[in-house]
Protein backbone atom coordinates (compact mmCIF):
# COMPACT_ATOMS: atom_id res chain seq x y z
CA UNK A 1 0.00 0.00 0.00
CA UNK A 2 1.32 3.43 -0.96
CA UNK A 3 -0.27 6.63 0.26
CA UNK A 4 -0.03 9.81 -1.79
CA UNK A 5 -1.98 11.73 0.81
CA UNK A 6 -0.21 15.07 1.41
CA UNK A 7 -0.33 14.78 5.20
CA UNK A 8 -0.27 12.77 7.25
CA UNK A 9 1.80 11.18 4.56
CA UNK A 10 3.80 8.08 3.79
CA UNK A 11 6.58 7.67 6.38
CA UNK A 12 10.03 6.33 5.59
CA UNK A 13 10.12 2.53 5.93
CA UNK A 14 13.11 2.90 8.30
CA UNK A 15 10.78 4.50 10.87
CA UNK A 16 9.90 0.97 12.00
CA UNK A 17 13.52 0.32 12.97
CA UNK A 18 14.01 3.76 14.53
CA UNK A 19 10.96 3.14 16.73
CA UNK A 20 12.31 -0.19 17.89
CA UNK A 21 15.70 1.40 18.60
CA UNK A 22 14.07 4.26 20.52
CA UNK A 23 12.44 1.72 22.80
CA UNK A 24 15.53 -0.43 23.19
CA UNK A 25 17.81 2.55 23.83
CA UNK A 26 15.55 3.86 26.59
CA UNK A 27 14.55 7.13 24.91
CA UNK A 28 10.88 6.74 25.86
CA UNK A 29 11.67 7.43 29.52
CA UNK A 30 14.74 9.62 29.05
CA UNK A 31 14.68 12.68 31.36
CA UNK A 32 14.47 15.86 29.30
CA UNK A 33 16.71 17.79 31.69
CA UNK A 34 19.48 15.21 31.46
CA UNK A 35 22.75 15.44 29.54
CA UNK A 36 21.72 12.64 27.19
CA UNK A 37 18.67 14.54 25.91
CA UNK A 38 20.62 17.81 25.63
CA UNK A 39 23.15 15.94 23.51
CA UNK A 40 20.35 14.59 21.28
CA UNK A 41 18.95 18.11 20.80
CA UNK A 42 22.34 19.54 19.96
CA UNK A 43 23.02 16.79 17.46
CA UNK A 44 19.56 16.97 15.85
CA UNK A 45 19.78 20.73 15.35
CA UNK A 46 23.25 20.47 13.82
CA UNK A 47 22.14 17.68 11.48
CA UNK A 48 19.04 19.67 10.49
CA UNK A 49 21.14 22.72 9.63
CA UNK A 50 23.64 20.63 7.68
CA UNK A 51 21.17 18.58 5.66
CA UNK A 52 18.74 21.42 4.88
CA UNK A 53 21.32 24.22 4.41
CA UNK A 54 19.93 26.33 7.24
CA UNK A 55 22.24 29.26 8.12
CA UNK A 56 24.27 28.45 11.25
CA UNK A 57 23.09 31.64 12.99
CA UNK A 58 19.39 30.72 12.77
CA UNK A 59 17.75 29.45 15.98
CA UNK A 60 15.77 26.21 15.84
CA UNK A 61 12.64 25.63 17.95
CA UNK A 62 10.61 22.45 18.33
CA UNK A 63 6.85 22.74 18.70
CA UNK A 64 3.92 20.38 18.28
CA UNK A 65 2.40 21.49 14.96
CA UNK A 66 2.38 24.16 12.29
CA UNK A 67 -0.85 25.39 13.84
CA UNK A 68 0.99 26.04 17.09
CA UNK A 69 3.54 28.06 15.10
CA UNK A 70 0.72 30.25 13.73
CA UNK A 71 -0.45 31.09 17.23
CA UNK A 72 3.00 31.53 18.75
CA UNK A 73 4.04 33.93 15.97
CA UNK A 74 1.01 36.11 16.70
CA UNK A 75 1.45 35.98 20.48
CA UNK A 76 5.17 36.61 20.61
CA UNK A 77 6.16 38.47 17.43
CA UNK A 78 3.06 40.48 16.53
CA UNK A 79 2.39 43.27 19.04
CA UNK A 80 0.16 45.12 16.53
CA UNK A 81 -0.79 43.31 13.34
CA UNK A 82 0.25 40.93 10.62
CA UNK A 83 -0.29 41.01 6.85
CA UNK A 84 -1.25 37.80 5.06
CA UNK A 85 -0.99 36.97 1.38
CA UNK A 86 -2.76 33.70 0.60
CA UNK A 87 -4.35 31.69 -2.18
CA UNK A 88 -5.70 28.75 -0.22
CA UNK A 89 -7.09 27.24 2.96
CA UNK A 90 -3.90 27.01 5.03
CA UNK A 91 -2.84 30.59 4.38
CA UNK A 92 -6.36 31.72 5.15
CA UNK A 93 -6.49 29.72 8.39
CA UNK A 94 -3.25 31.36 9.50
CA UNK A 95 -4.86 34.75 8.83
CA UNK A 96 -7.97 33.74 10.82
CA UNK A 97 -5.87 32.70 13.85
CA UNK A 98 -3.92 35.95 13.68
CA UNK A 99 -7.04 38.10 13.33
CA UNK A 100 -8.64 36.45 16.35
CA UNK A 101 -5.77 37.76 18.52
CA UNK A 102 -4.78 40.89 16.56
CA UNK A 103 -7.98 42.23 14.90
CA UNK A 104 -6.10 44.84 12.84
CA UNK A 105 -4.41 42.09 10.83
CA UNK A 106 -4.95 42.21 7.07
CA UNK A 107 -5.62 39.35 4.64
CA UNK A 108 -5.06 39.67 0.89
CA UNK A 109 -6.24 36.69 -1.16
CA UNK A 110 -4.90 35.91 -4.64
CA UNK A 111 -5.86 33.38 -7.31
CA UNK A 112 -4.36 29.90 -7.73
CA UNK A 113 -2.90 30.72 -11.15
CA UNK A 114 -1.75 34.14 -10.04
CA UNK A 115 1.65 35.30 -8.80
CA UNK A 116 1.06 37.86 -6.04
CA UNK A 117 2.21 41.38 -6.94
CA UNK A 118 4.64 42.20 -4.14
CA UNK A 119 5.08 45.76 -5.45
CA UNK A 120 1.44 46.60 -4.90
CA UNK A 121 0.37 45.64 -1.40
CA UNK A 122 -2.53 47.78 -0.16
CA UNK A 123 -2.46 48.45 3.57
CA UNK A 124 1.10 47.30 4.16
CA UNK A 125 2.60 49.98 6.41
CA UNK A 126 5.34 50.59 8.97
CA UNK A 127 3.17 49.29 11.80
CA UNK A 128 3.00 45.82 10.26
CA UNK A 129 4.99 43.45 12.47
CA UNK A 130 4.86 40.39 10.28
CA UNK A 131 4.20 39.60 6.62
CA UNK A 132 2.97 36.03 6.26
CA UNK A 133 3.32 33.77 3.22
CA UNK A 134 2.52 30.14 2.60
CA UNK A 135 5.38 28.90 0.44
CA UNK A 136 3.60 25.72 -0.54
CA UNK A 137 -0.20 25.87 -0.32
CA UNK A 138 -0.98 22.21 0.31
CA UNK A 139 -4.73 22.73 -0.08
CA UNK A 140 -4.63 23.78 -3.75
CA UNK A 141 -1.21 22.50 -4.89
CA UNK A 142 0.38 25.90 -5.54
CA UNK A 143 3.81 27.17 -4.67
CA UNK A 144 5.54 30.55 -4.45
CA UNK A 145 8.82 30.66 -6.34
CA UNK A 146 12.02 31.92 -4.65
CA UNK A 147 11.87 35.19 -6.60
CA UNK A 148 8.51 36.21 -5.08
CA UNK A 149 9.80 35.71 -1.53
CA UNK A 150 13.07 37.47 -2.32
CA UNK A 151 11.39 40.51 -3.90
CA UNK A 152 8.98 40.82 -1.00
CA UNK A 153 11.75 40.47 1.58
CA UNK A 154 13.81 43.16 -0.13
CA UNK A 155 11.05 45.71 -0.02
CA UNK A 156 9.95 45.32 3.62
CA UNK A 157 10.70 48.05 6.14
CA UNK A 158 13.14 47.17 8.92
CA UNK A 159 10.21 47.00 11.38
CA UNK A 160 8.59 44.16 9.48
CA UNK A 161 9.60 40.50 9.61
CA UNK A 162 8.82 37.98 6.89
CA UNK A 163 7.34 34.65 8.07
CA UNK A 164 6.94 31.66 5.75
CA UNK A 165 4.82 28.55 6.22
CA UNK A 166 6.87 25.81 4.53
CA UNK A 167 4.97 22.91 6.09
CA UNK A 168 4.70 20.85 2.92
CA UNK A 169 8.03 21.80 1.34
CA UNK A 170 10.71 21.97 4.04
CA UNK A 171 12.97 18.89 3.70
CA UNK A 172 11.61 18.38 0.17
CA UNK A 173 12.84 21.42 -1.67
CA UNK A 174 15.80 23.71 -1.13
CA UNK A 175 14.54 26.89 0.50
CA UNK A 176 16.52 30.13 0.64
CA UNK A 177 16.33 30.53 4.39
CA UNK A 178 18.41 33.67 4.31
CA UNK A 179 15.57 35.43 2.45
CA UNK A 180 13.04 35.36 5.28
CA UNK A 181 13.13 35.73 9.07
CA UNK A 182 10.88 32.88 10.11
CA UNK A 183 10.26 29.46 8.53
CA UNK A 184 8.36 26.52 9.93
CA UNK A 185 7.03 23.07 9.04
CA UNK A 186 5.59 20.03 10.74
CA UNK A 187 7.20 16.63 10.22
CA UNK A 188 4.23 14.65 8.84
CA UNK A 189 4.71 16.09 5.34
CA UNK A 190 8.10 16.18 3.54
CA UNK A 191 10.04 14.89 6.54
CA UNK A 192 8.22 11.55 6.19
CA UNK A 193 7.72 11.12 9.94
CA UNK A 194 4.69 10.64 12.22
CA UNK A 195 2.84 13.83 13.30
CA UNK A 196 3.29 15.60 16.62
CA UNK A 197 6.39 17.70 16.02
CA UNK A 198 7.07 20.93 14.18
CA UNK A 199 10.24 22.83 13.48
CA UNK A 200 10.56 26.60 13.48
CA UNK A 201 13.63 28.51 12.31
CA UNK A 202 14.31 32.11 13.35
CA UNK A 203 16.86 34.51 11.88
CA UNK A 204 19.03 36.59 14.24
CA UNK A 205 16.78 39.57 13.43
CA UNK A 206 13.67 37.64 14.48
CA UNK A 207 15.39 36.57 17.70
CA UNK A 208 16.34 40.15 18.45
CA UNK A 209 12.70 41.14 17.90
CA UNK A 210 11.27 38.46 20.17
CA UNK A 211 13.62 39.52 22.95
CA UNK A 212 12.54 43.12 22.55
CA UNK A 213 8.82 42.24 22.52
CA UNK A 214 9.48 40.01 25.57
CA UNK A 215 6.02 38.43 25.60
CA UNK A 216 5.62 35.98 28.50
CA UNK A 217 1.88 35.41 28.97
CA UNK A 218 1.60 31.93 27.48
CA UNK A 219 3.04 28.51 28.24
CA UNK A 220 4.55 28.48 24.76
CA UNK A 221 5.75 32.10 24.65
CA UNK A 222 8.75 32.33 22.37
CA UNK A 223 10.78 34.32 24.90
CA UNK A 224 10.79 31.44 27.39
CA UNK A 225 11.34 28.88 24.65
CA UNK A 226 14.31 30.89 23.40
CA UNK A 227 15.88 31.15 26.84
CA UNK A 228 15.63 27.38 27.31
CA UNK A 229 16.89 26.69 23.81
CA UNK A 230 20.14 28.52 24.58
CA UNK A 231 20.96 25.37 26.58
CA UNK A 232 19.25 22.95 24.15
CA UNK A 233 16.32 22.55 26.54
CA UNK A 234 12.58 23.09 26.33
CA UNK A 235 10.00 24.83 28.56
CA UNK A 236 8.00 21.64 29.03
CA UNK A 237 8.49 17.90 28.48
CA UNK A 238 9.03 17.75 24.74
CA UNK A 239 8.22 15.11 22.15
CA UNK A 240 11.45 13.21 22.81
CA UNK A 241 10.41 10.33 20.54
CA UNK A 242 9.63 12.74 17.70
CA UNK A 243 12.98 14.48 18.10
CA UNK A 244 14.76 11.12 18.21
CA UNK A 245 13.00 9.97 15.01
CA UNK A 246 13.93 13.25 13.34
CA UNK A 247 17.55 12.85 14.35
CA UNK A 248 17.77 9.28 13.04
CA UNK A 249 15.93 10.10 9.86
CA UNK A 250 18.03 13.19 9.06
CA UNK A 251 21.21 11.16 9.49
CA UNK A 252 19.99 8.78 6.75
CA UNK A 253 18.94 11.55 4.33
CA UNK A 254 20.80 12.93 1.32
CA UNK A 255 21.65 16.66 1.31
CA UNK A 256 18.65 18.80 0.37
CA UNK A 257 20.11 19.79 -2.99
CA UNK A 258 19.91 16.16 -4.12
CA UNK A 259 16.43 15.60 -2.67
CA UNK A 260 15.21 18.79 -4.36
CA UNK A 261 16.52 17.70 -7.77
CA UNK A 262 14.88 14.31 -7.41
CA UNK A 263 11.48 15.80 -6.55
CA UNK A 264 11.79 18.42 -9.27
CA UNK A 265 12.46 15.74 -11.91
CA UNK A 266 9.57 13.63 -10.67
CA UNK A 267 7.19 16.61 -10.63
CA UNK A 268 8.15 17.59 -14.19
CA UNK A 269 7.42 14.06 -15.42
CA UNK A 270 4.08 13.94 -13.59
CA UNK A 271 2.90 17.32 -14.88
CA UNK A 272 3.96 16.38 -18.42
CA UNK A 273 2.06 13.15 -18.12
CA UNK A 274 -1.12 14.64 -16.68
CA UNK A 275 -1.03 17.58 -19.10
CA UNK A 276 -1.53 15.16 -21.98
CA UNK A 277 -2.40 11.63 -21.27
CA UNK A 278 -5.38 11.33 -18.96
CA UNK A 279 -9.00 12.27 -18.39
CA UNK A 280 -7.91 14.35 -15.39
CA UNK A 281 -5.90 17.54 -15.88
CA UNK A 282 -3.64 19.51 -13.53
CA UNK A 283 -5.67 21.76 -11.19
CA UNK A 284 -3.13 24.55 -11.66
CA UNK A 285 -2.69 25.70 -15.24
CA UNK A 286 0.05 28.30 -14.72
CA UNK A 287 3.42 26.47 -14.65
CA UNK A 288 4.79 29.34 -12.50
CA UNK A 289 2.43 28.61 -9.63
CA UNK A 290 2.43 24.81 -9.70
CA UNK A 291 3.77 23.08 -6.61
CA UNK A 292 6.69 20.68 -6.80
CA UNK A 293 5.64 18.68 -3.76
CA UNK A 294 1.86 18.47 -4.14
CA UNK A 295 0.28 17.80 -7.50
CA UNK A 296 -3.38 18.72 -7.87
CA UNK A 297 -5.60 17.14 -10.53
CA UNK A 298 -9.11 18.16 -11.46
CA UNK A 299 -12.13 16.61 -13.10
CA UNK A 300 -15.88 16.14 -12.68
CA UNK A 301 -16.87 14.92 -9.18
CA UNK A 302 -18.04 11.48 -10.36
CA UNK A 303 -14.75 10.86 -12.15
CA UNK A 304 -12.70 12.05 -9.15
CA UNK A 305 -14.60 9.58 -6.93
CA UNK A 306 -14.13 6.76 -9.40
CA UNK A 307 -10.39 7.37 -9.75
CA UNK A 308 -9.88 7.45 -5.98
CA UNK A 309 -11.98 4.31 -5.45
CA UNK A 310 -10.27 2.25 -8.13
CA UNK A 311 -6.79 3.42 -7.11
CA UNK A 312 -7.48 2.39 -3.53
CA UNK A 313 -8.59 -1.07 -4.63
CA UNK A 314 -5.09 -1.38 -6.12
CA UNK A 315 -3.38 -0.24 -2.93
CA UNK A 316 -2.78 3.31 -4.13
CA UNK A 317 -4.28 5.87 -1.77
CA UNK A 318 -4.72 9.28 -3.41
CA UNK A 319 -5.23 12.48 -1.42
CA UNK A 320 -8.68 14.06 -1.56
CA UNK A 321 -9.19 17.65 -2.63
CA UNK A 322 -9.27 20.19 0.18
CA UNK A 323 -11.93 22.72 1.18
CA UNK A 324 -13.63 24.31 -1.84
CA UNK A 325 -11.70 21.99 -4.14
CA UNK A 326 -12.80 18.80 -2.39
CA UNK A 327 -15.35 17.38 -4.88
CA UNK A 328 -13.56 18.38 -8.08
CA UNK A 329 -9.93 17.66 -7.36
CA UNK A 330 -7.51 15.17 -5.88
CA UNK A 331 -3.98 15.62 -4.61
CA UNK A 332 -0.85 13.56 -5.11
CA UNK A 333 2.00 14.14 -2.67
CA UNK A 334 5.40 14.16 -4.30
CA UNK A 335 7.22 13.76 -1.00
CA UNK A 336 10.71 12.27 -0.57
CA UNK A 337 9.57 9.25 1.44
CA UNK A 338 7.41 7.99 -1.45
CA UNK A 339 9.63 5.77 -3.63
CA UNK A 340 9.91 6.06 -7.41
CA UNK A 341 8.34 2.61 -7.66
CA UNK A 342 5.11 4.03 -6.22
CA UNK A 343 4.95 6.68 -8.95
CA UNK A 344 5.61 4.07 -11.62
CA UNK A 345 2.64 2.10 -10.32
CA UNK A 346 0.54 5.23 -10.21
CA UNK A 347 1.29 6.24 -13.79
CA UNK A 348 0.63 2.65 -14.97
CA UNK A 349 -2.68 2.75 -13.16
CA UNK A 350 -3.73 5.94 -14.94
CA UNK A 351 -2.43 4.70 -18.30
CA UNK A 352 -4.38 1.44 -17.93
CA UNK A 353 -7.68 2.78 -16.56
CA UNK A 354 -8.04 6.51 -17.24
CA UNK A 355 -6.06 7.32 -20.35
C1 LIG B 1 -0.52 20.60 7.03
C2 LIG B 1 -0.33 22.07 6.98
C3 LIG B 1 -0.53 22.89 8.10
C4 LIG B 1 -1.04 22.35 9.41
O5 LIG B 1 -0.08 21.51 10.00
P6 LIG B 1 -0.35 20.93 11.47
O7 LIG B 1 0.95 20.27 11.81
O8 LIG B 1 -1.49 19.98 11.34
O9 LIG B 1 -0.69 22.06 12.35
C10 LIG B 1 -0.27 24.24 7.98
N11 LIG B 1 0.14 24.76 6.83
C12 LIG B 1 0.34 24.03 5.72
C13 LIG B 1 0.82 24.68 4.47
C14 LIG B 1 0.13 22.65 5.77
O15 LIG B 1 0.35 21.89 4.68
User: 109, exposed or middle or buried, with CB in 10 Å at 0-12, 13-18, 19+?
Assistant: middle
- Separation of alpha carbons 188 and 246, rounded Å: 11
For ligand 1, whether the C-beta of 165 sits within 6 Å is: yes
Which ligand 1 atom is at minimum distance from the Cα of 65?
7
For ligand 1, whether the C-beta of 75 sits within 6 Å is: no
For ligand 1, whether the C-beta of 168 sits within 6 Å is: yes
- 3-class secondary-structure state, position 126: coil
Please state the domain extents for the chain.
2-8+255-353, 15-252
pLDDT of residue 145: 97
pLDDT of residue 43: 98
> Which ranges of 142-281 does DSSP label H, i.e. alpha helix?
146-155, 204-213, 222-229, 240-251, 256-276
Helix (H) / strand (E) containing 184: strand 182-186
Strand partners, 316: 2
Parallel, antiparallel, or unpaired for β 329-333 and 294-298? Answer: antiparallel
How many Å separate Cα 170 from the centre of its chain?
A: 5
| 15-252 belongs to CATH 3.40.50.720 | no
Parallel, antiparallel, or unpaired for β 316-317 and 319-320? Answer: unpaired
Closest CA to 202 of 44, 50, 48, 58: 58
For ligand 1, whether the C-beta of 129 sits within 6 Å is: no
Helix (H) / strand (E) containing 131: strand 128-134
- Separation of alpha carbons 47 and 255, rounded Å: 10
- Separation of alpha carbons 329 and 296, rounded Å: 7
pLDDT of residue 278: 79
> Which of 88, 93, 186, 293 for a ligand 1 pocket mutation test, highest count of atoms within 8 Å of Cβ?
186
pLDDT of residue 205: 98
| Fold topology of 2-8+255-353 | 3.90.1150
Closest CA to 76 of 86, 89, 63, 87: 63
Could you report the average pLDDT of every consecutive run of 10 residues in the chain (355 residues)? Answer: 96 98 97 96 98 98 98 98 98 98 98 96 97 98 98 96 98 98 98 98 98 97 97 96 98 98 98 90 96 97 97 98 94 98 97 92
For ligand 1, whether the C-beta of 134 sits within 6 Å is: yes
Amino acid sequence: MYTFNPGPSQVYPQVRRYLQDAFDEGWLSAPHRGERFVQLMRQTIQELKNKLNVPQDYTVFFMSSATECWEVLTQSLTPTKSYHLYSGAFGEKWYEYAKALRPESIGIPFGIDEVPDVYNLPGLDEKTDLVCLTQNETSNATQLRDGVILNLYNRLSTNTLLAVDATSSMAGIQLKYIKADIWYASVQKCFGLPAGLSIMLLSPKAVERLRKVNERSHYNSLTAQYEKMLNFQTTHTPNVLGIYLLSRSLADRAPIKQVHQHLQDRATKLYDYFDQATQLTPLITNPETRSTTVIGLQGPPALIDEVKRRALSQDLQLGSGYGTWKPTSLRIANFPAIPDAAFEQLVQFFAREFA
